[in-house]
Amino acid sequence: SYMIWGFRTKFMCQSMGHDISALKTMEIAISSLLVAAVTPSSAGGEALRVHLLSKNEIPIGQATAVVIGERLTDALLILLTAPIALYIFRGVIPGENFDILLITGEAVLLSVLGILIYGIWKPDRTKSTIHFLVNRTTRFHGKKTDEAITHLLKKVDRELDDFHYGLRYLLRKGRRGLLYGMICTILYRCALYSILPVILVGLNQSPQIVLAFTAQILLTIVMIIPATPGASGVAELGASSLFSVLFASPALIGITVLTWRALTYYTNIVAGSFVSLKVLKDADFVNNSINR
């Protein structure tokens, strides 16, 4: 799945005219997993990927467009498959609490998509909103910071223009990159969702691929809710409810959830830690070379 993710980022960057190696994009994707695991809704992972892409001579605005484009393909796939998953699981999982979680997750996803779409089509309104919010808080910073804030707002405007240009370019001329990105997203999700059926086979249970995939699609929606870092607690609770339909014996639910969580969450922390150390080491080497 890491390799597929790396290729997705590479294709999206290429569609905007930036040539970057698959090995480098894979490194960027994996290194962001550690930060994503300790921030609500994996928000920190996106910010780190934007930063690392910008270090590879991609303007911050366009790097943001690439990362947002990746998330748009993810969101589009989940939104398209969610109604099918809901239909398959209709009546299988009783309880109002789970329905509330699911509805909240979909509402958050649709809200974020709505804000992004509005930001794409109305960049001037986005700038005005940011300027308004910053100007309302200037009295708390003091007059000495006026010049710094003005400089910061100009930089934000410039990066917003780059972001707007990048997304518009992706939607108009970079459609091949979006197509390849969507194909990679489908392959990535299939690879990620295949972990649960493999665990089921290891426990001498029927893999029930369709139910396993649909359960994880619904769980992905629930985990969007920015309640805890890495969706800890929310993921385990949702998985316990959704995965229960896959077993004849309730005794196997606990070990399945723990194994699944270890492979999809804690493995990311370990891999992200090692690659992050490599990235930091490479950055120190570059800085030392420049200082010499």
**pLDDT tens profile 32-65:** 888 878 776 655 678 888 888 988 888 887 888 8
208: three-class secondary structure by DSSP = coil
d(CA 195, CA 188): 12
Which residue, among 275, 241, 267, 269, has the nearest Cα to 256 in the 3D structure?
241
For residue 90, the model assigns a pLDDT of 67
Give Dmax over CA atoms of the chain in angstroms.
69
Cβ–Cβ contacts within 10 Å for residue 252, how many?
18
Q: What is the DSSP string of 143-154?
A: GGGHHHHHHHHH
The total of other beta-carbon atoms located within 10 Å of residue 144's CB is: 7
- pLDDT in the model for residue 191: 94
At residue 285, the pLDDT reads 42
Given 3-state DSSP classes, what are the helix, strand and coil percentages for the chain, each rounded to the nearest 5?
A: 85, 0, 15
Hey, where are the domains in the chain? 2-291
Residue 11 has pLDDT above 50, yes or no: yes
How many angstroms separate the CA atoms of 156 and 6, rounded?
28
Long-range CB pairs of 223-228, under 8 A, 24+ apart, other chains included: 223/105, 224/41, 224/105, 224/108, 224/109, 225/41, 225/101, 225/104, 225/105, 225/108, 226/40, 226/41, 226/43, 226/108, 227/40, 228/40
| More reliable by pLDDT, 139 or 171 | 171
Q: pLDDT digits over 148-192, tens only?
A: 777 777 777 776 776 677 677 777 777 788 888 899 999 999 999
Q: Both tokens of residue 95? A: 């309880």
Percent of the chain at pLDDT above 70? 74
